[in-house]
Amino acid sequence: MYKHPVLLQIELFARAFHSGDASGHDWHHIRRVRGLALYIAEKEEKGDRFIIEASALLHDIPDVKLNADNQKGAKKLKAFLNSLPLAEYQKEQIQNIVASISFKGGNETELLHFEAMAVRDADRLDAIGAIGIARAFAYGGKKGQPLYDPELPVRKQMTEEEYRNGKTSSIHHFYEKLLLLKDRLYTERRKNLQKNATTLWSSFYRNFSKNGMLNDENISSPGTDKILRGKSAVW
């Protein structure tokens, strides 16, 4: 199938940047996000496919988790885009979309354009379900956080700084971000997700707790359902 030469260039750059990552942001995360974003665009018959594909391939290049700091990440993306034979408005569009993807502990940007919605939803679809469970534990291990710590509260509101650097566990991350995503999607794909994501998590969590991992009294009484309905801030 014909591929725009600039997209091939972008793909090579993204592959090189993400290869060797062990935090759930490896090249195959990027590949899946590209596939999902294009699938969403095709199903809904909307959006500029070139912009969607380029933005999906580049969406994690400036991620602060993968760079020394925010500014260095943004510079890296800008320098790469400037090396490509693209119009100024296209570079700007891609940069704006990439900058709007992040969850930031709930302090996220409202989206206005379909291209950004498709890429953000695709990234979020890859953060839930079985892949999402695997990625969260991979990230937690890489970051050095515990699988689960019964003494930590589940944080409901936080600044981006608290979200990035505060104490949490991989199980907590589901309550602090991943289970909230189903209500924060824009495209039609959210309908499938709303049905499936919580069911898989509930079954995973039940099994996890059955195996003696959650033997703390804070968590044995209020069940997952109560936490999901927001009736309990602490397990």
Stretch that binds ligand ADP, among 1-9, 133-141, 183-191, 220-228 (CB under 6 A): 133-141
Specify the residue for token string 């602490």. 234
Compose the 131-150 pattern: x for residues touching Ni ion by CB under 5 A, - for all others. Answer: --------------------
Minimum distance from residue 128 beta carbon to Ni ion (Å): 12
Q: How many residues does the chain have?
A: 235
Q: Which residues contact 106 (CB under 8 A, 6 or more apart)?
A: 157, 158, 163, 177, 180
User: Could you tell me which stretch among 33-41, 77-85, 170-178, 183-191 binds ligand ADP (CB under 6 A)?
Assistant: 170-178
Which of 118, 136, 179, 197 is in the footprint of ligand ADP by CB under 6 A?
A: 136
Show the binding pattern over residues 17-56: x = contacts ligand ADP (CB under 6 A), - = does not: -------x--------------------------------
* Residue linked to tokens 């090396």: 83
60, 115, 121, 176: which one binds Ni ion (CB under 5 A): 60
Candidates 156, 170, 150; CA nearest to 23 is 170
- Residue (102 or 187) nearer to ligand ADP, CB: 102
Choose which of 155, 173, 182, 189 interacts with ligand ADP (CB under 6 A).
Answer: 173
Contact indicator for 23, 173 with CB cutoff of 8 Å: no
Cα gap 198→72, rounded to integer Å: 36
Q: Looking at beta carbons, which pairs linking 85-93 to residues 24 or more positions away fall under 8 Å?
A: 85/6, 86/6, 90/50, 90/51, 90/54, 93/51, 93/55
CB of 96: closest distance to ligand ADP in angstroms?
16
Q: Which positions lie near Ni ion, rule CB under 5 A?
A: 60, 123
